[in-house]
Amino acid sequence: MADILYTYHNQVYANITNRCDCSCVFCIRSHKDAIGEAEHLWHEKEPSLEEIKKAIDEFDFTECTELVYCGYGEPTCAIENLIASAAYAKEKYNLKIRLNTNGLANLYHGRNVIPQLAEVVDSVSISLNAPTPERYNEVTRPSFPNAFEAMCSFAVMAKEAIRQVRFSVVDVLSQEEIEASFRLADELGVPLRVRKYA
């Protein structure tokens, strides 16, 4: 059975789905079956809410203050389990909730899910991935034609509703693209962090 909760660099991560509406060229899923202390992150069957809660109950959170939703898939594809399990972890273990996302949840679900996320999520990191729609499509290969615009507007709306929202790009981009990403993030009023490629 795949790990639902796993640790990596002293952070606890929740791997609640393998579904994703992108196929990023750098996605770690395409060349490794696990990351950090996890043994296996491919679920034979998507975990139920009860299974996620059980994994939370079995984890020792003594040294932890935060649970990060980020696994081998896009967490918001399993939005109902994300919201319910995050509410459970917050209430029972007093954890802060962080969401690492591709920012396409509103497209995927065909509705605005930000108010629902804002009820339980304390901080959000959105993968900007590239500074232009063309490069974004090349890098993330999304299932939707207008994904870049939707991701940017998700970030702007999330910023209004959730205390800490930021973009991230991976340092595989050229210096020029990283600078253009900073300019775009600035225009949209969302801070940007450059992450090291794992």
Interface contacts to ligand SF4, rule CB under 6 A: 20, 22-24, 27, 29, 73-74, 102, 140
Closer residue to ligand SF4, CB minimum distance, 22 or 162? 22
Closer residue to ligand SF4, CB minimum distance, 105 or 192? 105
Q: How far is the CB of 101 from ligand SF4 (least distance, A)?
A: 8
Q: How far is the CB of 72 from ligand SF4 (least distance, A)?
A: 7
Q: How far is the CB of 185 from ligand SF4 (least distance, A)?
A: 18
Give DSSP secondary structure letters for 72-132: SB-GGGGHHHHHHHHHHHHHHH--EEEEEE-S-HHHHHTS--HHHHHTT-SEEEEE---SS
Nearest alpha carbon to residue 69 among 56, 60, 57, 58 = 56
Closer residue to ligand SF4, CB minimum distance, 140 or 181? 140
Closer residue to ligand SF4, CB minimum distance, 76 or 85? 76
SS (H, E, C) 142-187: CCCCCHHHHHHHHHHHHHHHCCEEEEEEECCCCHHHHHHHHHHHHH
Q: How far is the CB of 62 from ligand SF4 (least distance, A)?
A: 29
